[in-house]
Structures are given as C-alpha cells and as structure tokens.
Structure 1
Amino acid sequence: MTDLRKALNLDAPVRAIKAGVPVKTLRNISNRLRFGADAPQSDELIWVRARDVTDWYKPDPANGAPRFRRRHSGMVVDSDWDKSRKPFGSQIKLDSIRDHFERNVPWQKTDLFQWMLKQIAEKGRIDGCHTREDLIARYQQLDQIYAEAKQSGTMRPHGSVNQTRGEQGGILVHIARDGTPLRDGGGMHRFAIAYILDLPKVPAQLGVIHADAVASGVLQTLRTGPQPER
C-alpha cells in the first residue's frame, strides 16, 4: 500500500491540505484582484538582511495582535498589529549557534543541543529528530550550510533545497507598515547563520504584510535577491 501511495502520489494532496494550499490559492486570487499583478503571494520568497531584523512580532490577541502562522503567509492585514513587538534579544538557538561558529564550542556542548535532547526525551521528536544521532546529523548539515554561505556570501532559498511549495518552511518574516521585517516562527537556524555572517540578503518566507506596506511598493525591493558578481 505504501508503494502504491508513492506511485500515485496520494500523499501530495494531504500535505497540500495541511499546508493550507487551497486557502492560500484563494488568497492569492483575492490579493491579485485587490492589488493587481504585483500583489503579495502566499509562501512567496522575499530577501532581507538578517541584521535589519531588530524585533520579534509579539502576538497579543487581546490587544489586536493575532497569532499568525505559516498558513497566513501572504495575508494582507490592516490595523495596528505590527506595533506589537519585542526586542530581538538573547535566544537559545542564536546564542548556541554563535557559541559553535564564533567560539568553536562543539554542538554537543551547547545549551541548544542539550535542550533538543531533552525535548526528544519528553516528546519523542523535535524538528524531525528522534534520536541523538539524528541531532548530530542535523547539525552536521548546519555546518555545511554555514560553510557554503560563508564562501558564497549568500544562502540558497529553502524551497529550492527542500523542494517545498515556494519558500514554505523558510525563515518566516512579517512586514510592518513601514517595511520593517519582524521575525516570527521557524527558520531560526538559517536565520542565525545569516545573522552571524551578516549576509546582505537572506531568503525568507513572506508572512503577513501590512496593507500600507503593499501600497508603498516595498515588495519590489523585498523581491530583489542578491546580484550575481560580474
């Protein structure tokens, strides 16, 4: 049955529904009718400078700042949600990744690795890892991503590497009314690497964008990736 499902690609519709693809498709159509050909699209690839991200989006539903998920990618939202923020300060993933790459601390001795092990022990799985060996393999892959980004001065889009729909699963970034990028959700490992290396352009998944930002034309800039060297 498993081979038959693979042959018929029966899992694809299930993944699409879980990712909210039907809803996103309707959203894309609605956005185009509302904003024209340059309208924001769900799971769209945008490019930002990691160190331009100084704040996290802070969900506060009681005060008009809903909790946004990846499934809300490409949604155009008015109101004052983008004013709810918290400083991009110390964070276990960023701190541990800096310890590893800047201070040569082995992954297994970082706070992050130990925290991940604890999560596996308690929940059985985290970030697709079930065992210590899975974690070691994951962080070896991060070493490769870091080495490639350091050499090339850029980072390949998550979607092109993992064959996802658009930039689904990449660094999630909401766009405030003035074009300011606000971090939220996943992609922290890739973001931390881009932050440490101070990459001028890092691929990200468009999250929610303020209506004023769409009107200002900021998407044109966000859609411009790194320019090839001549």
Structure 2
Amino acid sequence: MARDRPHRRYRERERNSEPSVLGPARRFSGRLSVVIREYLGRPLQRRVPLWVLRVYHRLRRAGQPAKYTDADPFSLRWVDPATIQRSILETAPDRPQWGRVQGGDWDRRWEPFGERPVPRAIVEHFEDGRPWRKTPLYDHFADQLRRFNSAWDYTSMEAFDRRCEEIEALYRSIREHGYRSQRELAALEDAATTRVSPFDEIAVDVGRDGEFLWRSYGQHRLAIAKLLEIESVPVVVHRRHRRWQAVRNAVRRGAAPTRDGTRRRLDHPDLRPLVRGRGETP
C-alpha cells in the first residue's frame, strides 16, 4: 500500500546506515532511557517541591546577580499564543536554564515556529485533512528514533499511530475544555500515578526586545492553541536576554521603560507583575 512506503523507506535506510547488530542495541538504549525518565526522572521531579527550587534560585541569584533574574523562575506568564512566532535555534543545554540571564546573540538565531515539523503536521492534519503518515510528523518521528533512540517515549515506528491518537486526544481536550495549565491538569489526576508535571509547561526565552521565543516543551499544545485561536496559554520563562533583564530592573525601580525614545508597553506579560507590584494598572 502507498501509505506504507515511508515506513519501508525508513527501515531500508536504517539497515543501510548501520550494522545489523546495532539495531537491537539502539532499541534497547532507547527503551532504557525511557524507563529512566519514566520511573526515576519524572517521579523525582514531582517529589521536589517548587519552593525548594525557588530557594535554590534565590541563593544562586544572591551569589551571581548578573546571571540570574529577579523573577520567580517557576511563575506562569499568560501569553497570546499567536505572539510566539519564533523558535530558538540552539543545542539543548545539559542542565535546566530556569531563571538564567544571558547576553549575546542567541535570541537572533531562530527559525519560524510554524515551520517546525510538529506545528506543520498539526496544521496539515487538522486544517487540511491530511493523513498523519503524509505529514512531516512521520519523517520527524523516524528521525527522532534514529538520533535519540526514542520519540516521545516510544522506541519503534510501530508506535507512530498510537502517538497520533494521543495528539488527537489532546486536540479534542483543548477544543472542548479550553487550555489548562499542567498544574491544573495535575490537580485533576491521582498524585501517585499522574504523568503530568509542572515542569512541562510551554517553555520560552525572552529576547532583548521582549519577544517570547519558543524553547522547549509543549510544542504540540502551542501549535494546537494557535490553530484553535486560544486567547492565552501559560508559559514558563527559562531565560531572559541581558538587555531585557535591564528593562525589568528599570521597571522595578519605577522608571518608564523606553526604546529609541518610545515608551515601551507596560502590559507586556513579563512586566505586568512588576507594574502591579508598584500599585499600578498596566
């Protein structure tokens, strides 16, 4: 059948690209990494109270104030998903970047979020009616298996259809019940068995001009929220550009932020808490 050709191409590419003995070894490695995340990483994350991490962040900021923000790194910012247009082009760091402040040109290295394989596939499937196997998601799923030995906790192409069913269930949930934060979802589930983690909110960075740039986590949710024209979604800011942090510092001191002599809007989601703290209404 024509729909199976991409699957056969993937298997043929895998056979031709590595000795046959590596196939089972890679699959075992992928399954092992999934088990570690599922039974060690995620449960450990859920057991660490956020207040402990907040105290840890404050201690780091006290020691290196130029490298860490004054903001609570785990507080949510409610953002119009339509304003998140770009995705950071950067190798994932070895450790979390919660609350980091960093200069440089990292915020100028980006790609359009809508051109990523997952957002493209979601639009093509739900808006254009294209079968999942004919969307970019299929090759992307195969590429994740090839590069990381697992794709969204699955370790074989046989699980692709199951993954697509999960995306469709997510789409229906957001369409019927609205967008809910991971903390809201966790409150609805059994604390002992839930897979939902507050660390899995959509993660963004803030560039020098205050632009929200998608960084990691929740790209399916963000793409669906855009497609359904959801008014706002919760995000967690991992990193801020040094110039943007200077704007935050100025607002906290009571100065009106400016850029090229033009007053910057104080209703920016990352400035709003500071303005409220001064008793003003943005």
Q: TM-score, normalised by structure 1?
A: 0.68
Do the aligned partners of residues 222 and 100 (structure 1) sit closer, same or farther apart at CA in structure 2, a change above 3 Å counting?
A: farther
Residue of structure 2 in register with 1:221 after alignment? 272
**Greater RCO, CA 8 A, separation 6+:** 1
| Aligned CA-pair RMSD | 3.7
Partner Cα separation in structure 2 for residue 190 and residue 158 of structure 1: 11
Within the candidate set 15, 27, 33, 2:57 is matched to: 27
Do the aligned partners of residues 182 and 123 (structure 1) sit closer, same or farther apart at CA in structure 2, a change above 3 Å counting?
A: closer
Within the candidate set 181, 187, 208, 2:218 is matched to: 187
Is 1:173 aligned with 2:197?
no
Partner Cα separation in structure 1 for residue 273 and residue 93 of structure 2: 20
Q: Which has the larger displacement, 179-188 or 25-34?
A: 25-34
The answer on whether the counterparts of 1:177 and 1:212 sit within 8 Å (CA) in structure 2 is no
Aligned 1:64-79 pairs, distance under 5 A: 71-77=96-102, 79=103
Report how many residues are paired. 199
Aligned 1:197-216 pairs, distance under 5 A: 197-210=228-241, 211-215=245-249, 216=251
Residue of structure 2 in register with 1:55 after alignment? 86
What SS does the aligned partner of 2:240 have?
Answer: strand
Partner Cα separation in structure 2 for residue 158 and residue 13 of structure 1: 14
Residue 27 of structure 1 aligns with an amino acid whose one-letter code is: H
Partner Cα separation in structure 1 for residue 42 and residue 162 of structure 2: 29
The Cα offsets for residues 133-178 of structure 1, whole Å up to 9 and x where unpaired, read as 53323222221221222234x41113443432x3x12322011243
Percent of aligned positions that are identical: 19
What SS does the aligned partner of 1:207 have?
Answer: strand
TM-fit CA distance, 1:209: 1.9
Partner Cα separation in structure 1 for residue 237 and residue 70 of structure 2: 12
Q: Which has the larger displacement, 39-48 or 201-210?
A: 39-48
The answer on whether the counterparts of 1:47 and 1:204 sit within 8 Å (CA) in structure 2 is yes
- In structure 1, runs of 5+ residues without a counterpart are 1-9, 60-65, 224-230
Partner Cα separation in structure 2 for residue 69 and residue 198 of structure 1: 34
Larger Rg: 2
- In structure 2, runs of 5+ residues without a counterpart are 1-38, 186-194, 253-268, 275-282
Residue of structure 2 in register with 1:103 after alignment? 128
Q: Which has the larger displacement, 97-106 or 168-177?
A: 168-177
Within the candidate set 115, 118, 132, 1:90 is matched to: 115
The Cα offsets for residues 7-45 of structure 1, whole Å up to 9 and x where unpaired, read as xxx9479945xx9x987752244448969xx94233433
Q: TM-score, normalised by structure 2?
A: 0.57
Is 1:140 aligned with 2:140?
no
The answer on whether the counterparts of 2:89 and 2:111 sit within 8 Å (CA) in structure 1 is no
Aligned 1:156-171 pairs, distance under 5 A: 156-161=180-185, 162-164=195-197, 166=198, 168-171=199-202
